[in-house]
Amino acid sequence: MKVIYNLGIFIYSLLAWLLLPFNNKARAWINGRKHWFARLSQKITPGEKYIWIHCASLGEFEQGRPLIEAIKNAKTDFKIVLTFFSPSGYEIRKNYKYADVICYLPSDTPRNAVKFVSLVKPQIAIFVKYEFWNNYISEIRKEGIPLYLISGIFRKGQVFFRWHGAFFREILKKFTMIYVQDNLSLDLLGSIGIKNVSIAGDTRFDRVVRIARDAKKISQIEFFRGKELLVLAGSSWKQDEEIICGYINKYPGKVKWVFAPHEVNMGNIERLEKLISVNHVRFSQFSEDKSDARVMIIDNVGMLSSAYRYAYIAVVGGGFGKGIHNILEPASWGVPVLFGPNHGKFKEAADLLATGGAESFDSYESFKAILDKLLDDNILYSKAAAAAGNYVRENTGATDKIIKEII
């Protein structure tokens, strides 16, 4: 199986090279790994103590981030080496100030694993949520380096739990400790003989609570909202927006609306504006004399997490595509959350639906029914808002538990 695994790594890298002329992501993936050893050698200082933290992409980074910042704030003498597999993580966070070294993870070949581990010489290695690279994990284990998985979550259909998953089950046994999010993951791992497991929860809860604590006041949105109720559509995509705008155009005076589209390029903003038949304004063009607009479109990035504080209800996008975006950010403010049907892989979505802090819609009709219900029934709304806020507060603390045990 090891031979097949290494062959798969080779084929994946070869395909990336073949796609290089035609695909921007493949180009970034290849170019980011060119001459990696020489580039990394310039950043590693012999004699320093490093903790290596690996994230697949941006989502995993957000789960690792509370731990990285806790390590730095603890004023230890550890330095952080942060690696990414995906360009979408590296390109956005390559200047992250809390990491001392940031780079792509070289392809998981036996040779790369030996060279990387021998160069960095990490005191501790931490993988976030996913990514089970056999050659790196085997080399870490061979060198006697403590290895941890944090915010892990496992599902029955994964290869570890199938009849042909013995090779991957052996990988799990090489971790010093696997910190999982829930009892289901603990029980699944126990069913295949993996005992080096502890429930710590999801570090993202600590992150969203901190974001809410440090949120900035946005006077433009506050003035725009006035004394009316406001519904905020965060990280919205085309299908979300078409449903939401159908409601806005039919009931323009019921509430005020803010869109924070996932894509804020000019073409996408103009497309969204064409869907809205009522008076609307872009955030960059807002002034007090335009406060009679019914819809505001945020045409910048970095504001959404703070903007949720002004929402009465949040509609989080992505649920008609690959999956929903961050629903914990609005929930941390005690804001009920609505999202589309593609949420099956998100534990927090299932939990919030079960507690009543969230609702899912799959059509204009179901969206209208849910929204009207929350807007018209104050008792129901209060229960939903309380459920959302309590869910986040009750699940904080994973970062403290992990850092106390491994640092």
CATH class label, 216-394: alpha beta
Q: What spatial distance separates the first Cα and last Cα of the chain, rounded to whole Å?
A: 35
Sign of torsion over alpha carbons 315, 319, 325, 327: positive
Q: Which of 295, 260, 300, 264 is nearest to 280 (CA)?
A: 295
Q: Which of 116, 156, 154 is nearest to 135 (CA)?
A: 116
DSSP string, 119-137: HH-EEEEEEESS---HHHH
Per-residue pLDDT tens for 321-371? 989 999 999 999 999 999 999 999 899 999 999 999 999 999 999 999 999
Per-residue pLDDT tens for 163-208? 999 999 999 999 999 999 999 999 999 999 999 999 999 999 999 9
H-helix or E-strand spanning residue 114: helix 110-120
Q: What share of the chain has pLDDT > 90, as a percent?
A: 87
State the span(s) of the chain assigned CATH 3.40.50.2000.
Answer: 216-394
Name the pTM for this structure: 0.86
| Cα 363 from Cα 340, distance rounded (Å) | 8
Q: What share of the chain has pLDDT > 70, as a percent?
A: 100
Q: Under CATH, what is the fold of the domain 44-210+397-406?
A: Rossmann fold (3.40.50)
| Cα 148 from Cα 234, distance rounded (Å) | 33
Say if residue 20's pLDDT is above 80: no
| Cα 298 from Cα 281, distance rounded (Å) | 9
Per-residue pLDDT tens for 243-256? 999 999 999 999 99
CA angle 47, 52, 56 (to 5 degrees): 155
Mention every residue, 6+ apart, whose C-beta is less than 8 A from residue 211.
305, 306, 329, 332
State the span(s) of the chain assigned CATH 3.40.50.11720.
Answer: 44-210+397-406
| Cα 81 from Cα 59, distance rounded (Å) | 18
Q: What is the mean pLDDT of residues 277-292?
A: 94
